[in-house]
Amino acid sequence: MAITPRHLRLALPAAVVAIVFATAGRAADADKGAAFSQQQLQAKIQYCSSCHQPSGQGYLGATPIPRLAGQQPQYIKNQLHAFIDRRRVNFYMFKVAHSLNPAMLTAIADHFHALNPPPLGSGPPNLVGAGKKIFEHGVPDAKVPPCSTCHGSEAKGKGPFPRLAGQLYPYIVKTLTNWDKERGQGGTANPDTSAIMKPIAHGLTESQIKAVAAYLSTLG
């Protein structure tokens, strides 16, 4: 039997669900920052684009850099705050996030959300079919719900739930494989929305992670 959105809601601890709304509230409160000039904004966007690319498609290299194009603004802001608070580990992004005031952070998030380049389609084509099945139906035997339950039927996300459509195959594989090392580092004293994904990342095998990553990398 496929896991339905109702089943997922019942399975998620109330405290975890509360985290989503608490994080959203903090992000909204933080948007009352100082003003900035268009010149300053363009300089910051250019700086971000040097890694994430002007189109926001991300970069396929030895260390994959994620796609930001079309990403949910609230999710981008939440993740930048997670870098600032050291709840998410990336030593380069620690420095980048600290340099952004709340108003600039919001403007950058809105800029990348508005971009819509085609996906790079970086995953193995032979895994796409299996990945689509996991995305739509989950893995009931492992108590993994459908990805579409939170990320939407088109994987474009909503609010604090990120867009996955078009994300780079190696980035998704790396992120899900290393979830405990990169996300939720605040522990019980400083939790965030990564708590929702922890059991799901643990419930997927290596081959299942690669399959769902391949499918998502093809979506526009």
Per-residue pLDDT of the chain in tens (220 residues, 90 and over written 9):
444 444 444 344 433 444 443 444 444 444 444 588 999 999 999 999 999 999 999 999 889 999 999 999 999 999 999 999 889 989 899 999 999 999 999 999 999 999 999 999 889 999 999 999 999 999 999 999 999 999 999 999 999 999 999 999 999 999 999 998 888 787 666 667 788 899 999 999 999 999 999 999 999 9
What are the helix (H) ranges across 31-166?
38-52, 73-84, 91-98, 102-113, 128-137, 148-151
Q: What is the pLDDT of residue 189?
A: 66
Which pLDDT value is given to residue 185? 80
Q: Work out the burial of residue 35: count CB atoms within 10 Å of its CB; fewer than 13 is exposed, 13-18 middle, 19 or more buried.
A: exposed
SS3 state of residue 171: helix
Residue 119 φ then ψ, to 5°: -70, 150
How many whole angstroms separate alpha carbon 177 and alpha carbon 205?
Answer: 9
In degrees rounded to 5, what are phi and psi of residue 15?
A: -65, -35
The Cα diameter of the chain in Å comes to 54
Residue 219: its pLDDT value, please? 97
| Helical segments of the chain, H only | 5-11, 14-30, 38-52, 73-84, 91-98, 102-113, 128-137, 148-151, 169-177, 179-182, 194-203, 206-216
Q: What is the DSSP letter of 59?
A: B
The CATH code of the domain at 5-216 is 1.10.760.10
Q: Residue ranges of the domains in the chain?
A: 5-216
Sign of the four-CA dihedral 94, 81, 177, 63: negative
* Spatial CA neighbour of 116 closest among 67, 47, 50, 49: 67
DSSP helix/strand/coil, 147: coil
120 touches 60 (CB < 8 A): yes
**Location of structure tokens 């939170």:** 150
Amino acid 186: pLDDT: 72
pLDDT at 71: 98
Measured CA to CA, the distance from residue 83 to residue 66 in angstroms comes to: 15
With beta carbons less than 8 A apart as the criterion, state whether 83 and 91 touch.
Answer: no
Note the pLDDT of residue 167. Answer: 98
The whole-number pLDDT of residue 191 equals: 64
pLDDT at residue 61, rounded to an integer: 87
pLDDT, one tens digit per residue, over 78-125 is: 999 999 988 998 989 999 999 999 999 999 999 999 999 999 988 999
